[in-house]
Structure 1
Amino acid sequence: MPQSRANGFGRNTETARPMTSNRAAGYTAAGKAGGGKVFDPLNQGDKGAAKPLEKKTELSPEEKLREMEKEIHRLVEESAITRERGNLREALEKGKEAGKKERQLCRLREQQNLLDQLNVDLTYAVCLNLAIQHQANDNDNEALTIYTQIVKNKQYPFSGRFRVNMGNIYFKQEKWTAAIKMYRMALDQIPNNVQAIRFKIMRNIGHAFFKMHQFPDAIDSYENLLMHGAQHLDFMTGFNLILCYYALGDKDKMKSGFLKLLNIEQVGLEDFDEEEEIELGQTEQQKQESATRNLTEGDDALREDIKRRQREAARFIVNAANLIAPVIEKTEVAGFDWVIDSLNHHGFPRIGSELEIAKSCFFLRRKEFDQAIQVLKKFERKEPSLMACAATNLSFLYFLEAEHTQAEKYADIAVKADRYNARALVNKGNCMFMNDEFERAKEVYLEAIGVSADCLEAIYNLGLVNMHIGKYQEALLAFDKLHSITHVNCEVMWQLGDIHEKLGNHAKAHEWFSLLVTSPKGRPTDPGVLARLANLFNKAGDETQAFHYHLESYRYWPVDMNVITWLGIYYVKQEMYEAAIPFFSRASQIEPNEVKWRLMVASCYRRMGAYPAALKLYEDIHRSHPNDIECVRYLITICKEMKQKYDHYAAHLRKLERLQAANEQPGRNMGTVSAIGQGGREASDDTM
């Protein structure tokens, strides 16, 4: 029995059977004793040596060509996939390589007389892919050349529709006429049963006419889309149609176009407001949990696309509503009311509420604050996000009207509804600033910046509050940051110049004020900036430049008393009394109750030697101000110089001096007048 089992497995019958199960199969004592046995349980050694490998037969020419076709097809697919991944340059290189190999394949077929096996479809695919890759890389001329070859080749099926691609290139190049021509030629190639593509081409034709400002032709193209129930109308097309009606001033068509825009059916739009309500109804904890879940799991691609469509639709609807509301009715308010009713009726209450806020902003622009407040107060009973927006605007309105208590109240409401509302925090900080709570205001501004790092109002106000409490270096940091964001904002450059001047950095202050005057978007005619530059030059001892900028400032704002005084004193210093007279005369017109300006004019006449004019002016001053001691003294002096009687003036002077001594009232400081009478140098010293 043991032998029969061994033979059944092809074992050698002379080999002893193992006596125990601990010895491995195939390893026996007999084998060990012989020393020449090889472990071969399947007796494969009896078959002899292995046969040599067969040589691979050489590929035939047809097989080589088929392998090349596979390689070309692989390159085309890789090129398309690479383009979808965003690597446009590599995709173009693969497309070029595919084109090169395809031309090599055609030459080989021609050399081997296999022209009947030319793969037209492969050539078509290679050329089309290469054109698409050139178009994606903005190589418009190369793409147009290949597209032209494709559409002219009658062997390529449906090649005429690629005139749409050519039209798109011309559209991008703003060659509207050529684009329209290509679109129309492509439209002739599209069969009538392919309605979706035909309507998209018609939409593109309308866009081209719109760009050319040929609004009637654009309307014709757009309205063709409405003939089939508007199922092919998208929000951009509907918005452009409203713009065309607006350009032509057709109010009825604007209304109908807006209603058509609201009736557009789009996947995902039907639950737009429901999603908003769900989000608004969540507590803060639920919102945080939802945000955490979205961060960890993320929305799928379909959900992201639906959200993008919803945002885009809302943007077009809001823009269209804001555009037509002020013009579709006899009054702007009636227009807003019609738009809001239409939005609520068609299932867009959220956007309707936004239009309510836009309506309040319209009142605000017209400075009709009471109506704006009335509209915004309606939001106190609405959802939190809208209430926060309305409360922010209400706070701003009350702040403008200097009702700081009410402004702070609504700022607190807005912050409570949305702690991350940067504008509400700015309003709250402004109220604290007006209540002299500067440190608290600074903290709130910093919190607003933490919420929104690019909140310009918060950064600007932070700089102001730091200046107010004397922390100029911190204010400088805030305005420097603001300047890095805005670049050429005039208010920011003014504050930077002002801070540097306060810090004693006159060179930097001069640099900022000069930039404010010379910048293309600056203020070269701002009299305040010119006066500041003049003062900086004056401090630096450059009177020539100081005079130039003071004169420029006076030219644009001839009522600045500081500038007028400086110019008048400058001419007195130069002993150009005749030139100084117009400035002192202007000062007397601005401050008619101030006697010193008319006395300065009279002193200039006296220094010029025009004694009759000086005497006449002194007498006029004495009649209007009979108790002015300085004027009486000048009258006595000039009468002596002109050898006229002055006894009555002398008597009046003694009387005034006795009254002054009796009342123990010191005389009015007439240092400026006396100095002008004595000489130009003393006048400048006392006045300045």
Structure 2
Amino acid sequence: MMENVHLAPETDEDDLYSGYNDYNPTYDTEELENDTAFQQAVKTSHGRRPPITAKIPSTAVARPVATGCGSKTSLASSMGRPMTGAIQDGVTRPMTAVRAAGFTKAALRGSAFDPLGQSRGPAPPLEARNEDSPEEKIRQLEKKVNELVEESCIANSCGDLKLALEKAKDAGRKERVLVRQREQVTSPENINLDLTYSVLFNLASQYSANEMYPEALNTYQVIVKNKMFSNAGRLKVNMGNIYLKQRNYSKAIKFYRMALDQIPSVHKEMRIKIMQNIGVTFIKTGQYSDAINSFEHIMSVAPNLKAGFNLILSYFAVGDREKMKKAFQKLIAVPLETDEDGKYISPNDDPHTNLVIEAIKNDHLRQMERERKAMAEKYIMTAAKLIAPVIETSFAVGYDWCVEVVKASQYVELANDLEINKAIMYLRQKDFNQAVETLKMFEKKDSSVKSAAATNLSFLYYLENEFSQASSYADLAVNSDRYNPSALTNKGNTVFANGDYEKAAEFYKEALRNDSSCTEALYNIGLTCKKLNRLDEALDCFLKLHAILRNSAQVLYQIANIYELMEDPNQAMEWLMQLISVVPTDSRALSKLGGLYDSEGDKSQAFQYYYESYRYFPSNIEVIEWLGAYYIDTQFCEKAIQYFERASLIQPTQVKWQLMVASCFRRSAQWI
């Protein structure tokens, strides 16, 4: 409350400035020449200081007062004051009650400045710490607990989750011992609650990291239920995350909402993240309407890319076309909060400035900006691919709508990628003409887009065996972007189809130099070396490719085939066994393995693989003929009849199959 202050009017009796002009004439040094008593004291021995018999140490003296006639005397003598105790002890006392820190008049006379008093002798030793005292033991134990918590966190960051959990448990045990010792020595109010909280929180985190979810939940419950821990309710977010990992979605939503209720509205970012978790949990439970409410609230308060993408997924799940369009527009409008590339362009030719700009271009902040932009482009492209086929009457119209929206946003460069995806969608629907027409629209675009479109056109014409058109578009792609590995690979394919294997290998190698991860170029180099009968080089290429693509059936078959050409059947059979483990129903690989065992004289193993091949593909004439001959050799002619009859059905014009059936009947009757 405000107090009432009353101001009284001024009067002559209560003058605020009364007494300011009053002064003691004793201190008036300007009229000393007219002071008879003072002049008499100066001219005679009256009032002079007596001679000093004992030598006084050089210490601070009283400040002199200047007289009108130029002589100097102490204020004490001029005022007739007796000597103070400080002067009698040999140390002159200054005028003020507080002595200056080390600055005395004696210092002006030649003594060293000594503010710490070191010239007076060494300082008294500090009191020795008693290591056996209870306070010191508690202090050391507390230090050890802090060290264990820190070591646990470091081990977790290094990936050693087991060691991190052990350190966290050890810290918990020592912290309980510390609490008991504190209770014995001091009052309960002096217990370090911050240390207890950090120990329990770290222990719960390490339990969760080691997927020991029940133990983590119990530890979090200990923290949450303790009323002495302030703001512990927000840890219910962590408990909700654990329930989400356990797929207990109802409890996860419950704990997320409890945490949301206990977090104040000023912490907007934390509340948005919790609501996003609630929305994701609703999506997992199939409650799309509730998820839509959560994500719509987020996009209206603090829009972000993840919430916008999840909102599109939710609308897609319920099939709301108009809401999908609005959500896509909201996703496009989310600010990226990254600097433009023009900021890093050097305004002059100063080499030092250029070096600084080059360093800024590749610093961690710039890398983070690139990652954020790449993530935004990924979300937008995925959302466009998802909704384009369903928001309009046809996917082409839907793609056109998405392209127009993207062109009017900050992601203009994504419009060309959407057009190329539209052409790929035409390919998936086997509409080659529309795909070609769509890709031909990019012939007048910039170099990168033109190269991508020409690469796809070259591939399409190559699939249709129109090698001249494929070669021309491959040349266009290479000329637009010489460092495009896909364009170089397609150009090599067109040359390979014309039989010029040496030149094709040059294009493949150039593509591999531009992009070492271009597995297509490496595979084609192996095929080229195989055509040129350079089996060692081909084997080396395919073995390198196998190190990259561990379970590629084509690579495994090529390695086995090269070992077969190198007349190493054991290695060939070993690689074919790996191939069968990847594709156990491949009848061609099974028949090939059966043929290798047959060439080695192992008829039983050969029969096993030939029979498996026949079971998966009963129309292979070579396999049927081998099985029929095998049964004839083992004198089971009645079993061989069914194979030759099947062969006669496959090749009815071949007379030999009927003759083989008749021969089998004759032999079986003879044996009977």
The aligned counterpart of 1:653 is none
Match among 294, 298, 301 for residue 221 of structure 1: 294
Deviation of 1:536 after TM superposition, in Å, equals 1.9
Quick check: 1:359 aligned with 2:422? yes
Q: Which structure: greater helix fraction?
A: 1
The aligned counterpart of 1:245 is 315
The aligned counterpart of 1:7 is none
* Matched-pair contact (CA < 8 Å) for 2:256–2:278: yes
1:360-417 Cα offsets, whole Å, 9 max, x none, are 1111122211111111122222222222221221111111111212222222332333
Q: Secondary structure of the equivalent of 2:413?
A: helix
Distance 2:547 2:317 in 1: 39
The aligned counterpart of 2:250 is 177
Deviation of 1:321 after TM superposition, in Å, equals 0.9
Return the TM-score normalized by structure 1: 0.69
1:481-510 Cα offsets, whole Å, 9 max, x none, are 222222222222222222222221122222
Match among 211, 224, 232 for residue 284 of structure 2: 211
The aligned counterpart of 1:535 is 595
The aligned counterpart of 2:331 is 261
Deviation of 1:528 after TM superposition, in Å, equals 2.0
- Greater CA drift, 360-369 or 414-423: 414-423
Match among 572, 579, 583 for residue 522 of structure 1: 583
The aligned counterpart of 2:238 is 165
Number of matched residues? 552
Distance 1:413 1:235 in 2: 37
Q: 1:447 to 1:42 in 2, by over 3 A?
A: same
Return the TM-score normalized by structure 2: 0.71
Letter in 1 for 2:260: L
Q: Secondary structure of the equivalent of 1:482?
A: helix
Q: Secondary structure of the equivalent of 1:325?
A: helix
Distance 2:322 2:647 in 1: 60
Distance 1:330 1:353 in 2: 22
Deviation of 1:320 after TM superposition, in Å, equals 0.9
Matches within 5 A, 1:309-320: 309-320=372-383
* Matched-pair contact (CA < 8 Å) for 2:152–2:165: no
Q: 1:76 to 1:317 in 2, by over 3 A?
A: farther
* Matched-pair contact (CA < 8 Å) for 1:88–1:137: no
Quick check: 1:233 aligned with 2:233? no
Deviation of 1:602 after TM superposition, in Å, equals 5.9
Letter in 2 for 1:405: S
Q: 1:556 to 1:278 in 2, by over 3 A?
A: farther
Matches within 5 A, 1:424-443: 424-443=487-506
Matches within 5 A, 1:101-140: 106-107=179-180, 109-118=182-191, 120=193, 123-124=196-197, 127-128=200-201, 131=204, 140=213
* Matched-pair contact (CA < 8 Å) for 1:206–1:219: yes
Q: 1:569 to 1:134 in 2, by over 3 A?
A: closer
* Matched-pair contact (CA < 8 Å) for 1:68–1:105: no
Distance 1:355 1:395 in 2: 19
Match among 443, 459, 482 for residue 545 of structure 2: 482
Quick check: 1:553 aligned with 2:645? no
Superposition CA RMSD, Å: 4.3
Distance 1:237 1:48 in 2: 69
- Greater CA drift, 204-213 or 310-319: 204-213
Quick check: 1:399 aligned with 2:462? yes
The aligned counterpart of 1:152 is 225
1:562-594 Cα offsets, whole Å, 9 max, x none, are 334444555565676665555555545544555
Quick check: 1:189 aligned with 2:250? no
* Matched-pair contact (CA < 8 Å) for 1:164–1:201: yes
Q: 1:543 to 1:344 in 2, by over 3 A?
A: same
Unaligned runs of 5+ in 2: 1-57, 59-109
* Matched-pair contact (CA < 8 Å) for 1:239–1:316: yes
- Greater CA drift, 463-472 or 530-539: 530-539
* Matched-pair contact (CA < 8 Å) for 1:429–1:441: yes
The aligned counterpart of 1:620 is none
Q: 1:302 to 1:506 in 2, by over 3 A?
A: closer
Deviation of 1:119 after TM superposition, in Å, equals 5.0
* Matched-pair contact (CA < 8 Å) for 1:381–1:387: yes
Q: 1:217 to 1:502 in 2, by over 3 A?
A: same
* Matched-pair contact (CA < 8 Å) for 1:88–1:133: no
Distance 1:432 1:235 in 2: 45
Deviation of 1:530 after TM superposition, in Å, equals 2.8
Distance 1:365 1:558 in 2: 31
Match among 550, 563, 582 for residue 500 of structure 1: 563
Q: 1:474 to 1:185 in 2, by over 3 A?
A: same
Distance 2:527 2:429 in 1: 28
Deviation of 1:359 after TM superposition, in Å, equals 0.7
Letter in 2 for 1:167: G
1:159-183 Cα offsets, whole Å, 9 max, x none, are 2122122223333444333322211
* Matched-pair contact (CA < 8 Å) for 1:527–1:554: yes
Match among 434, 451, 458 for residue 388 of structure 1: 451
* Matched-pair contact (CA < 8 Å) for 2:138–2:182: no
Distance 2:638 2:237 in 1: 79
* Matched-pair contact (CA < 8 Å) for 1:497–1:508: yes
Quick check: 1:563 aligned with 2:623? yes
Quick check: 1:302 aligned with 2:375? no
Q: 1:98 to 1:405 in 2, by over 3 A?
A: same
- Greater CA drift, 114-123 or 323-332: 114-123
* Matched-pair contact (CA < 8 Å) for 1:231–1:265: no
Match among 391, 397, 404 for residue 334 of structure 1: 397
1:283-324 Cα offsets, whole Å, 9 max, x none, are xxx9xx999987755534433332222111111111111111
Deviation of 1:341 after TM superposition, in Å, equals 1.6
Match among 356, 363, 370 for residue 433 of structure 2: 370
Letter in 2 for 1:260: K
Letter in 2 for 1:480: L
Distance 1:551 1:130 in 2: 59
Deviation of 1:185 after TM superposition, in Å, equals 0.9
Q: Secondary structure of the equivalent of 1:261?
A: helix
1:31-90 Cα offsets, whole Å, 9 max, x none, are xxxxxxxxxx9899xx99974541324679999699779969986996799699768879
